[in-house]
Amino acid sequence: MNTFQSLATPFMAMWLLAIAMVIAVAASREMPMEFSSGELARIAGYGEERLSSVLVVGTLLCQACPISDLHSSPISGAKVGVGCKAEGKEKKKKIEWIHGTTDEYGEFMVDIPSHLHAIPRLEDACKVRVLSMPKNSLCGNPTNSMKPPQSIKLSSVGNSIRVYTTGTVKLISHGISTKESSSKNHDI
């Protein structure tokens, strides 16, 4: 018997004994047969302690002509919302909104809170909506802020980060708006 085998044998015996003890303790307790989504999220490592990141990104453009992309410009300062249907108390679905603002390039990035990371089929549960436009935007009219919610699609995964995207959202210009338009209805 070599040195490795002589050290490994007692170590393996102790390891198997520890596993057997954990199984015995777990078997002596009543285990719930059904877990809530909150319990599943905690078990999976989501919840208060951040173990992963989920980002929703996209670009918002104002299009001067609906037929051509030649005269598109980024919309800076628009407020966007990501609405995710999550299980609330008494297993009712509620929509939780996370807000973001577009930068000078019309791009937005919304960091989804960790308690929503475990939602099954996040692509179906979350949508992006333009909530309000800056006062000086050529696309700042009420019909654009009422545009249907945009779907998200998984675009990359790696290093505990999942990135979903709406791609480019194009709004049609209808002249200069004199006031900030805002979507009052946040339903998905």
Taking only the tens place, the pLDDT of each residue in 128-187 is 999 988 888 878 765 555 578 899 999 999 888 999 999 999 888 765 332 233 444 455
Distances (CA, A) of 100 to 54, 109, 157, 172: 14, 7, 21, 21
19 with 68, same domain?
no
88 with 24, same domain?
no
Q: Is residue 123 part of a domain?
A: yes
Top pLDDT among 74 and 87 is at 74
153 with 86, same domain?
yes
Q: Which long-range contacts (CB under 8 A, 24 or more apart) does 10-16 make?
A: none
**Residue 141 CB contacts under 8 Å (≥ 6 apart), including other chains:** 133, 174, 175, 177, 181
12 with 90, same domain?
no
User: In this predicted structure, what is the pLDDT of residue 4?
Assistant: 46
Say how many domains are in the chain.
Answer: 2
Q: Is residue 67 part of a domain?
A: yes
71 with 111, same domain?
yes
Q: Is residue 38 part of a domain?
A: no
Q: Is residue 47 part of a domain?
A: no
Indicate the average pLDDT of the chain. Answer: 76
For the chain, how far is it from start to end, CA to CA, in angstroms? 68
Beta bridge partners of 132: 79, 182
Instruction: Note the pLDDT tens digit of each residue in 4-27.
Output: 455 456 656 666 666 666 666 666
Quick check: 47 pLDDT over 80?
no
Q: Is residue 61 part of a domain?
A: yes
Range of the domain at 158: 53-172
Vertex 55 angle, CA 181 and 44, to 5°: 130
82 with 9, same domain?
no
Quick check: 62 pLDDT over 60?
yes
User: In this predicted structure, what is the pLDDT of residue 129?
Assistant: 93
Top pLDDT among 71 and 63 is at 63
User: In this predicted structure, what is the pLDDT of residue 87?
Assistant: 73
91 with 16, same domain?
no
71 with 24, same domain?
no
Q: 3-state DSSP call for residue 147?
A: coil
Q: Is residue 46 part of a domain?
A: no
Quick check: 125 pLDDT over 70?
yes
User: In this predicted structure, what is the pLDDT of residue 71?
Assistant: 77
Phi then psi for residue 106, to 5 deg, are 80, 10
Q: Is residue 23 part of a domain?
A: yes
Q: Is residue 182 part of a domain?
A: no
**Residue 35 CB contacts under 8 Å (≥ 6 apart), including other chains:** 43
